[in-house]
Amino acid sequence: MTELARARVPEVGAPPAGIPRSATASLRELLERQFQDYTEQLIGLTVPGRLPDSDVHHPDTVRTLMRTARQGIADTTEALRRMSEGGYGRCGRCDREIPLVRLRAAPSARWCEPCQQHHASVRHGHEPGPAGC
Ligand SMILES: [Zn+2]
């Protein structure tokens, strides 16, 4: 079991496939900043009286914001983990490389664009398209 688990992780600290080391460094910075932003947002929502805008106190709005912040923290944590363990920059569904331009726009992206769109359309109840990815 240990052998299996190890076999799935290529090399600890190995640069992600297809992504230059310099790009990885800036993506990591982006992720760390996002993580911090989400954390601060969540603290702001959790600690009463820290929100500057009183409109945001509406329970539904706060719930939505908290869910977004929690999801953001989870996504960025996961992306940073993949970055150090290997597998970052690869689509979790089709295993293709995620283009750098997409990672720059969404550093915590787990899926390539076609897979993401497919997922979104399935979730919205449309007919699932041909398995192009
Ligand atoms: Zn994909």
Q: 102 and 73: one domain?
A: no
C-alpha 129 to ligand 1 mean position (Å): 14
Residues 53 and 99 in one domain: no
Q: Rounded to whole angstroms, how far apart are CA atoms 103 and 124?
A: 24
133 within some domain: yes
- Statement: residue 120 has pLDDT above 90: no
Summarised one tens digit per residue, pLDDT across range 18-52 is 788 889 999 999 999 999 999 999 998 887 655 55
pLDDT of residue 79 exceeding 80, the answer is: yes
**Percentage of the chain exceeding pLDDT 70:** 71
Q: Among 102, 92, 80, which Cα is nearest to 36's?
A: 80
Please give the backbone phi and psi of residue 90, each rounded to the nearest 5 degrees, phi first. Answer: -115, 140
Q: What is the pLDDT of residue 114?
A: 95
pLDDT recorded at residue 9: 47
User: What is the rounded CA–CA span in Å between residue 93 and residue 107?
Assistant: 17
Note the pLDDT of residue 69: 96
Give CA separation, 69 vs 74, 75, 79, in Å: 9, 10, 15
Same domain, 43 and 78: yes
Average confidence score pLDDT of the chain: 81
The answer to whether residue 106 scores a pLDDT higher than 90 is yes
pLDDT at 98 over 80: yes
Count of domains in the chain? 2
- 112 near 98, Cβ under 8 Å? yes
Best CA proximity match to 28, nearest among 85, 96, 76? 76
Amino acid at 110: R
Q: How far is the CA of 50 from the centre of ligand 1 (A)?
A: 40
Q: Tell me, in angstroms, the distance from the centre of ligand 1 to residue 23's CA.
A: 21
Distance 111 CA to ligand 1 centre (A): 5
Same domain, 32 and 81: yes
